[in-house]
């Protein structure tokens, strides 16, 4: 299955059916009077977040969604049938964005959450509605209301608790494969990860989700490499795990490159809690390891954990640190959630 996190759709709600102009024509009834029924309502267009989807690839092959029109009213006071609604089933974490590509109309972060994208038109009144004491035989009816037509963007941001960051070949995919059942592509050349991957991680009886995105390079915010198009998938994360290749001779520059790209993409993302890890420590001798850890601590201004995704050295300590940040963020969300009786 191909991964697609941005799609453009064209939607239109159904128009309401027109009212009917009709008069009773029955034997032995001298003054029949009007009996035109109302038109039916047009169908609406909804978006619903469903579980089991993790891509918007379906919207590449079908982009137009038109709800059914309501039927016209009929004689004998018969109301036209309502048009059927259309429901766009999207993955959890999908944002609905207006045509300007900036205005967020809805953010579907919970399974089963729905949002009305285009309301169907109301049906027109039949001539029976216009009967009065002074107008016993009205000969007019209302047309149905037109449907709503609009162009929208769907943007998927994966739901994960922790996000992996680092330069290409920093060991992100190896780490994800070591701590979860995810099987991302692993190779000894850059950009082996072309699409985001999710993995469920367990530590001390607790579980959380980690997202691995393609590596960033200097100038990613300007479109170099794969650019920063996948950084949106870690915007929802509680904590970022920044992996730095310990075998690199320019590890402080590598660290600053990632931080610079985060700040260029979004100051809010750059301010998220980060866990900095010096990776591939099994390939370093003790003296080199000590010097590089000290240099990275100076560059980051905080503690640095040591880890090897291949030998799994220090992996549990990293996972416990991530869980501590995640549980703290969840506790903060519970405190600000308003109480509802």
Distance CA 18, CA 287 (A): 84
Q: How confident is the model at residue 224 (pLDDT cuts 50, 70, 90)?
A: low
- Top-ranked range on mean pLDDT: pick from 36-45, 235-244, 309-318: 36-45
* Spans of all domains in the chain: 1-156, 162-336
Predicted structure pTM score: 0.74
CATH number of the structural domain 162-336: 3.40.50.300
Annotated ligand binding at 309? The verdict is yes
Annotated ligand binding at 19? The verdict is no
Beta strands, E only, the chain: 6-12, 45-50, 64-66, 86-91, 94-97, 104-108, 114-118, 149-156, 162-165, 197-203, 206-212, 239-245, 274-279, 305-306
Annotated ligand binding at 167? The verdict is yes
Annotated ligand binding at 322? The verdict is no
Q: Name which of 184, 175, 162 is nearest 278 in CA terms.
A: 175
pLDDT at 326 over 70: yes
Report pLDDT for 331.
75
Q: Name which of 117, 139, 134 is nearest 34 in CA terms.
A: 139
Report pLDDT for 20.
93
Annotated ligand binding at 193? The verdict is yes
Tell me the two tokens of residue 320.
Answer: 């416990």
For the chain, the residue count is 341
Report yes or no: 25 and 74 within 8 Å, Cβ to Cβ. no
Distance CA 323, CA 98 (A): 36
CATH 2.70.210.12, domain 1-156, yes or no: yes
pLDDT in tens, 80-113: 999 999 999 998 889 999 998 888 999 998 899 9
Annotated ligand binding at 315? The verdict is no
Annotated ligand binding at 341? The verdict is no
Annotated ligand binding at 191? The verdict is yes
Q: Are strands 206-212 and 197-203 parallel, antiparallel or unpaired?
A: antiparallel
Annotated ligand binding at 166? The verdict is yes
Annotated ligand binding at 143? The verdict is no
More confident residue, 337 or 85: 85
Annotated ligand binding at 170? The verdict is yes
Calculate mean pLDDT across residues 197-210.
83
Annotated ligand binding at 168? The verdict is yes
Calculate mean pLDDT across residues 6-14.
94
The number of beta carbons lying within 10 Å of the beta carbon of residue 7 is 21
- Give the CA-trace dihedral at 50, 53, 57, 61, to 10 degrees: -50
Annotated ligand binding at 234? The verdict is no
Annotated ligand binding at 119? The verdict is no
CA distances from 100 to 96, 151, 221, 237, 295 (A): 12, 9, 21, 26, 45
Annotated ligand binding at 42? The verdict is no
Distance CA 310, CA 171 (A): 9
Mean pLDDT of the chain: 84
Annotated ligand binding at 178? The verdict is no
Annotated ligand binding at 318? The verdict is no
More confident residue, 98 or 167: 98
Three-state DSSP state, 332: helix
């Amino acid at each position: 299955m191909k991964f697609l996190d941005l799609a453009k759709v064209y939607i239109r709600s159904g128009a309401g059916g027109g009212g009917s102009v009709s008069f009773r024509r029955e034997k032995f009834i001298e003054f029949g009077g009007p009996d035109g029924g109302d038109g039916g309502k047009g169908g609406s267009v909804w978006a619903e977040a469903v579980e089991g989807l993790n891509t918007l690839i379906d919207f590449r092959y079908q982009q137009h969604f038109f709800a059914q029109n309501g039927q016209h009213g009929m004689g004998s006071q018969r109301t036209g049938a309502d048009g059927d609604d259309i429901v766009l089933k999207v993955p959890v974490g999908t944002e609905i964005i207006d045509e300007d590509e900036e205005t967020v109309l809805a953010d579907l972060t919970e399974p089963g959450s729905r949002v009305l994208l285009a309301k169907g038109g109301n049906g027109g009144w039949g001539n029976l509605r216009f009967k009065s004491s002074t107008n016993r035989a009205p000969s007019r009816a209302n047309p149905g209301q037109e449907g709503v037509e609009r162009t929208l963007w769907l943007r998927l941001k994966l739901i994960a608790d922790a996000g992996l960051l680092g330069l290409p070949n920093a060991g992100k995919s190896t780490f994800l494969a070591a701590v979860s059942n995810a099987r991302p592509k692993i190779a000894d050349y850059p950009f082996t990860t072309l699409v985001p991957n999710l993995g469920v991680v367990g530590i001390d009886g607790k579980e959380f989700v980690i997202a691995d995105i393609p590596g960033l390079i200097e100038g990613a915010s300007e479109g170099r490499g794969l650019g920063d198009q996948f950084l949106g998938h870690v915007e929802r994360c509680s904590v970022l795990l920044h992996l730095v290749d310990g075998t690199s001779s320019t590890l402080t520059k590598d660290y600053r490159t990632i931080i610079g790209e985060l700040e260029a993409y979004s100051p809010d993302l750059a301010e998220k809690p980060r866990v900095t890890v010096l990776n591939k420590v099994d390939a370093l001798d003790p003296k080199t390891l000590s010097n590089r850890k000290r240099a990275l601590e100076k560059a980051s201004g905080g503690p640095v954990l040591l880890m090897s995704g291949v030998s799994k050295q220090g992996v549990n300590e990293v996972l416990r640190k991530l869980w501590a940040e995640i549980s703290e963020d969840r506790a903060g969300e519970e405190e600000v959630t308003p109480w509802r009786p």
